[in-house]
Structure 1
Amino acid sequence: MEDIRVIQNEVFRLGSKVNASHNSLIILTKPSDYGKPYLHISEDRYEYIYSERGFEFSRKSTKDLDELFYWIIYPVVHQMAVEYELLHRVDEHEDCRKIIFPKLLKYLGKINPLWAEMAKKELPPI
């Protein structure tokens, strides 16, 4: 298993491919009170955990470092796509996902083309 410093540096490198905010890419290693996920590294796996005020509501576990990077980066670029849509909204009555989803896939594809393909399968049809 990789050390948190190695993982953090790689997340910064990947995020820089799409000009993601440095602060949005900081990985916590302990729970916070406001629901931001944190990373627990055990001897044989990575666990990405969402909890808030002591209540755990999601835990993902993997041995695959690339999968971990996807979990960390996805919400960051999703938020970037939402912000892009807000700035480029054409019609307030149109489904905002028509702008968000393509932008999200574009960001993910710039980082790793396989991630865009994974996300495309996960996204609901518009």
Structure 2
Amino acid sequence: MALIINAPSDYLPTYNTPKGDGHPCVKIEGSKFYLVYEESGIEHERKLAKDLNELMYYVFDDITYLMASDYELKNRESGEDPRKKLLEKQLELMNKISIPFAERLRTRISNILRVSPYRKPPKFLI
């Protein structure tokens, strides 16, 4: 999946051994799959996935977000809500990996935009 979108290797999670810098780490404990974020020995977040497919969604949600953030920063347009370009790019990348993953992301984005729609940035940012 990472090869399909040409994901940078440093965006991929570690397995079983956290870096300790907030980078995601995949952990499998028995029949449970986790994506864990740990920094300086403190666990900040642990996402439980019911199966390998859901774990892969979590992993690639993170990776595509980072890649889309890089893209948006390089292609920022004055007067446009930066989330627009970022979320469109993330959805495009996720669609290359898996249509069901893209649909799940599309639903989440719709829910976010319902609560916090796109806005023009304040003039001092333009």
Query: What's the TM-score, normalizing by structure 2?
Result: 0.80
How much has 1:80 moved relative to structure 2?
0.9
Does residue 99 (structure 1) correspond to residue 85 (structure 2)? The answer is: yes
Amino acid at match of 1:85: E
Please identify runs of 4+ aligned residues in structure 1 that moved more than 3 A. none
Bigger drift between 81-90 and 98-107 goes to 81-90
Q: Which has the higher strand share?
A: 2
Does residue 120 (structure 1) correspond to residue 106 (structure 2)? The answer is: yes
Residue deviations 1:76-112 (CA, integer Å, cap 9, x gap): 1111111111221221x32101111111001001100
Partners of 2:46 and 2:20 lie apart in 1 by 16
**8 Å CA contact 2:13, 2:23 repeated in 1:** no
Tell me the equivalent position of 2:121.
none
Does residue 77 (structure 1) correspond to residue 64 (structure 2)? The answer is: yes
How much has 1:26 moved relative to structure 2?
4.4
In the alignment, structure 2 segments of 5+ residues that lack a partner are: 119-126
Tell me the equivalent position of 1:59.
46
In the alignment, structure 1 segments of 5+ residues that lack a partner are: 1-13
Q: What RMSD over aligned residues (CA atoms) do the two structures have, in Å?
A: 1.5
Paired residue total = 112
- Secondary structure, in 3 states, of the residue corresponding to 1:39? strand
**8 Å CA contact 2:13, 2:25 repeated in 1:** no
**8 Å CA contact 2:95, 2:101 repeated in 1:** yes
Amino acid at match of 2:7: A
